[in-house]
């Protein structure tokens, strides 16, 4: 079996992949993640997950590369990682009482053969109506500055929601494990 490489430096994705009990390396990709003009959130994460896998494949020529990307979208407007407190507050205030779609693209590339398979997970997050003090308290406690949509669903962020609708709870954290297992099986990697 080829060595598996996660094309990400995300600690969240690493923790998720560790759940599968696989030996893997982690290597970040350095690609431009800017959306192209008129690109939908689904098309963006699909393109970026493939680009990340291909970029890491250049330096890992005989490996199975896992690329993944995620964006949050409110009415098809992409919400990135806030990077700081003010932007996180603005994002959460904008999402209050609304439904946000999370698009997570996944790609597995055999860098030796060039064969690649990809999939897409979409998860709907129904936000509670949040007051300013609730948003500020949440930000102070979870500091979600490196998370798309300004929350950590694996942490206190779960308290911001009325419900989450999706196929895989892991996808919301950044790596759709159910879809990944299916893709890896097509490359001969049997998790069980």
pLDDT tens for each residue of 81-93? 899 999 999 999 9
Asked if residue 137 is part of any domain, the answer here is: yes
Both structure tokens of 142: 């979870």
Measured CA to CA, the distance from residue 95 to residue 97 in angstroms comes to 6
- What is the tally of structural domains in the chain? 1
pLDDT of residue 82: 92
pLDDT of residue 1: 54
Asked if residue 191 is part of any domain, the answer here is: no
Measured CA to CA, the distance from residue 151 to residue 155 in angstroms comes to 8
Measured CA to CA, the distance from residue 180 to residue 22 in angstroms comes to 12
The tens digit of pLDDT for each residue in 1-50 reads 579 999 998 888 999 999 999 999 999 988 988 889 989 999 999 999 99
Residue 80 pLDDT greater than 90, yes or no: no
User: Is the overall model pTM greater than 0.75, yes or no?
Assistant: yes
pLDDT of residue 139: 97
Query: Residue 40: which domain range?
Result: 3-186
Measured CA to CA, the distance from residue 157 to residue 135 in angstroms comes to 10
Assign residue 179 the CATH number of its domain: 3.90.950.10
Q: What is the mean pLDDT of residues 47-72?
A: 95
Contact 170, 178 (CB under 8 A): yes
Burial degree of 74 (CB within 10 A; 0-12, 13-18, 19+):
middle
Both structure tokens of 169: 């709870």
Q: Which of 32, 69, 140, 142 is catalytic?
A: 69
Secondary structure (3-state) at 131: coil
Burial degree of 62 (CB within 10 A; 0-12, 13-18, 19+):
exposed
Asked if residue 16 is part of any domain, the answer here is: yes
Asked if residue 134 is part of any domain, the answer here is: yes
Asked if residue 52 is part of any domain, the answer here is: yes
Four-point Cα dihedral 88, 33, 12, 61, nearest 10:
-170
Average pLDDT of the chain, as a whole number = 93
Q: What percent of the chain lies above the pLDDT cut of 90?
A: 80
By DSSP bridging, strand 3-6 and strand 24-26 are: parallel
Cα Rg, the chain, nearest whole Å = 17
Q: Is 69 a residue of the active site?
A: yes
């Amino acid at each position: 079996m080829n060595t598996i490489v996660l094309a990400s430096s995300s600690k969240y994705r690493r923790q998720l992949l560790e759940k599968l009990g696989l030996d893997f390396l982690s290597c970040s990709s350095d690609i431009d993640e800017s959306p192209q003009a008129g690109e939908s959130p689904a098309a963006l994460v699909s393109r970026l997950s493939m680009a990340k896998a291909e970029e890491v494949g250049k330096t890992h020529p005989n490996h199975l590369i896992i690329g993944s990307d995620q964006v949050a979208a409110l009415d098809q407007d992409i919400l990135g990682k806030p990077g700081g407190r003010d932007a996180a507050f603005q994002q959460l205030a904008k999402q209050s009482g609304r439904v946000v779609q999370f698009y997570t693209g996944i790609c597995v590339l055999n860098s030796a053969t060039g064969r690649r398979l990809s999939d897409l997970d979409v998860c709907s997050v129904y936000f509670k109506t949040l007051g300013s003090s609730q948003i500020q308290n949440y930000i102070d406690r979870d500091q979600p500055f490196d998370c798309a949509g300004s929350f950590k669903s694996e942490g206190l962020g779960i308290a911001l929601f009325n419900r989450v609708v999706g196929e895989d709870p892991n996808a919301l954290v950044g790596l759709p494990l159910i879809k990944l297992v299916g893709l890896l099986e097509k490359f001969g990697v049997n998790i069980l």
